[in-house]
Amino acid sequence: MTKGLPAALSLLVALIGLCAPVHAWQTIERPAQQEEGSSFTAEPCESVVTVSESETTPKFDENTDCGWLTVPARHADPGGLKIKLGVVILRARALDHAPDPLVMAQGGPGASTIETYLEEMKDSPIRAKRDIVLFDQRGTRHTRPALACDELDRARIAAIEQRLTPDEESRRRLEAVEQCRARLVREGVDLSAFDSIENAADVAALARALGYDKINFYGVSYGTLLAQHLMRDHAGILRSVVLDAVVPSEGSYIAESARAEDGALSELFRACAAHPRCAAAYPNLERDYFDAVERLNRQPAEVFMLDLDTGKGYDTVLYGDTLQGFVFQALYATELLPLLPYVMDRAAKGDYAPIGNLGSVFAFDRSVNDGAYLSMTCAEDASLLDQPISDAGVRPPVAQRSARDWRDFVAACRLWNVEALPADANAPVRSDVPTLLLSGRFDPITPPAKGDRVVATLTRARHLVFPNVGHSAFGIEPCADQIVKAFIADPNAPLDTTCLAQLGAPTFITSEDVVPLTSLVRLASLSERGRRELAELGLALLVLLSAWITIPLGWLVRRLAGQESRDLPWLAKLNPWLTLLCGALLAYFVGMVGATAADLVLQDNYLFLFGLPGDARPFFIVPPVALALTGLMAIGVVVGWRHWGWLRRINRMLLVAAAIVCLNVLRALGMLL
């Protein structure tokens, strides 16, 4: 369970060069108090936060410090194996800042806090008065060792174009789990040391090493479970706690996922039915969606998906369960909620291109280190693996898929074979630390009911439910940001929730609001096919626009030489004007589509995955007009052929060919509507 979803649109912005690497690093000046076996070493930020060739180097301002926190693999054995955790400290802007920082923890488990929050929190209002500390939990990306399982990533991608039975898919996945475990053990990794109790001890060690007496702790998703371990074992360091997308310490969120997903779908269907335009556009959304799931499970379809990291495209086999999985993951993302009925309706109508683009965001996600995920979740759920899951009242397609997921999880945990947490680690946490709990109405994995369970045993806590949010509210919903900022400033003050009372359900889009154009993703991500299409379109358009130089220049030369013919057929006379107009129109069209798409990306508007806003529809009059002009240009070349010299013939033929290439590329992109 991670916060939001992979930042696909941020990746697309980076690809068009909107970010540039900048380095600044200052030496940590705060005196460090070390616990036995733990230490903090300051390092340049680039040596801590490393990126791959396909990623953009983060930008660090002059008030950012970085380093490595070295901790025992097992805190009870400070002289044993060590683990290094990457740390980024965004220093407070004000000189008279508060002494207690905000320490943040991402979910997964296994996802990188630094990767998720570095850009987001740089300009946070919270930073004005207090430090913000981002640390990667043991086993995640910026740690040593990092428990990534490339074996699982390869197995997922290898299966994506194959028609496999669920049992065959499970068998391959478990083989990859076994291979990853064997490799990590050979490398000397103590897999049982990567659990929530050690993780919580790391947070306490971090606070002491950086010289903080008290911290404010924010956890999202699995990070809320980590926070509860902190509240149980290290309450003395906590000034306040924010739990966003709450995981109870008792039970298993995986075993309960069918009921959570089913409830989120019910909320989505109810919200659409209560929204007049959504209800009118999709009157039978629930029935149509599950009909599509059943149809695809009987007869899978093929859909194009793009690995946004590598630019490689795949002709993916789309089962009904795959469709369900993508919708489940999309429910996490608040930004995608308004678009989900549209995507579900298109799938019901047999148009799978939108779900293919949606799947491109999720299917190739490498943000979670599977080894860390398995170590932490299997240790948490060890006592529950023999218990049957309860799915009474859950829609059968959801229950069946979730039952297979639970079966595969149990089998993976048997193979991973880590030590279970003590029994009391799964008991409800009782605490008087000031705590703010946040839940989203549409959360498919940690619904509001889970927050209600946790808040019941916290004596100084408040639980807020956001009616327009999926999985996690802070950093997504401005009202949540406002409330969290005020709570951290004074955890004991009454909460002003006026903004929450003013929120409603998402404003859903319909087919009228979208110009379908799923090809934009492959263009903006510079995939192999997208690069080829952009090159063909750019070169052809450049040749066509050269008419604005060659035609006037040719006319001037002939006029000065007295060779300009006045008895040409009228289509031959019109040819230069038609050519100039065609080039201008196509340049205008490409420019307007590009500008509109870029605006969506810059606004983090996920409509970009499916097309352009409905008000861009008038632009699409241009390609058919250009097609008609190209036809007239070609006729003009034919009738003017015997009247022209060889240079003019070659020039006009090239211009017609360039126009044809432009239109053919636009057709392949779905823009010749």
* Tokens (6 digits) for 91: 């220093």
- Give the Å distances, CA to CA, from 583 to 191, 369, 538, 580, 619: 63, 50, 12, 5, 15
pLDDT of residue 35: 61
- What is the structure's pLDDT at 566? 67
CB 252 within 8 Å of CB 426: no
Q: Are 375 and 147 in contact (CB under 8 A)?
A: yes
Cβ count near 622 (within 10 Å): 22
Domain ranges of the chain: 23-147+188-251+418-496, 257-368+391-400, 513-668
What is the pLDDT at residue 592?
96
pLDDT value, residue 18: 28
Which residues 6+ apart lie within 8 Å of 385 measured at CB? 410, 413, 414
Helices (H), ranges, 364-508: 370-381, 396-416, 448-455, 478-489, 498-501
Residue ranges for the chain with pLDDT beneath 50: 4-33
What pTM does this model have?
Answer: 0.89
pLDDT for 203 equals 98
The whole-number pLDDT of residue 8 equals: 39
CA 172 centroid distance within chain: 26
For 413-428, how does the pLDDT look when each residue is reduced to its tens digit (9 = 90+)? 999 999 999 988 989 9
pLDDT of residue 336: 96
Which CATH code fits 23-147+188-251+418-496? 3.40.50.1820
Cis peptide, bond prior to residue 434, ω within 30 of zero: no
- Looking at residue 216, the DSSP 8-state letter turns out to be E
- DSSP H stretches of helix in 301-350: 320-332, 340-348
Please name the helix (run of DSSP H) or strand (run of DSSP E) that holds residue 135, with its range, or none. Answer: strand 132-135
DSSP code string of 67-90: EEEEEESSTT-TTS-EEEEEEEEE
As a whole number of angstroms, the distance between CA 564 and CA 554 comes to 10
| DSSP type of residue 458 | B
CA dist list (Å): 9 to 221, 268, 528, 610: 22, 24, 18, 13
Q: Which residues fall within 8 angstroms of residue 95, CB to CB, at 6 or more apart?
A: none
The closest alpha carbon to 600, from 87, 10, 5, belongs to: 10
What pLDDT was estimated at residue 399? 95
Rounded CA gap, 354 and 520, in Å? Answer: 11
**8 A C-beta contact, residue 381 and residue 413:** yes
Alpha-carbon dihedral sign for residues 430, 433, 438, 443: negative
Give the torsion through C-alpha atoms of 419, 220, 120, 493, to 10 deg.
-130
Among residues 446, 500, 506, the alpha carbon closest in space to that of 269 is found at 506
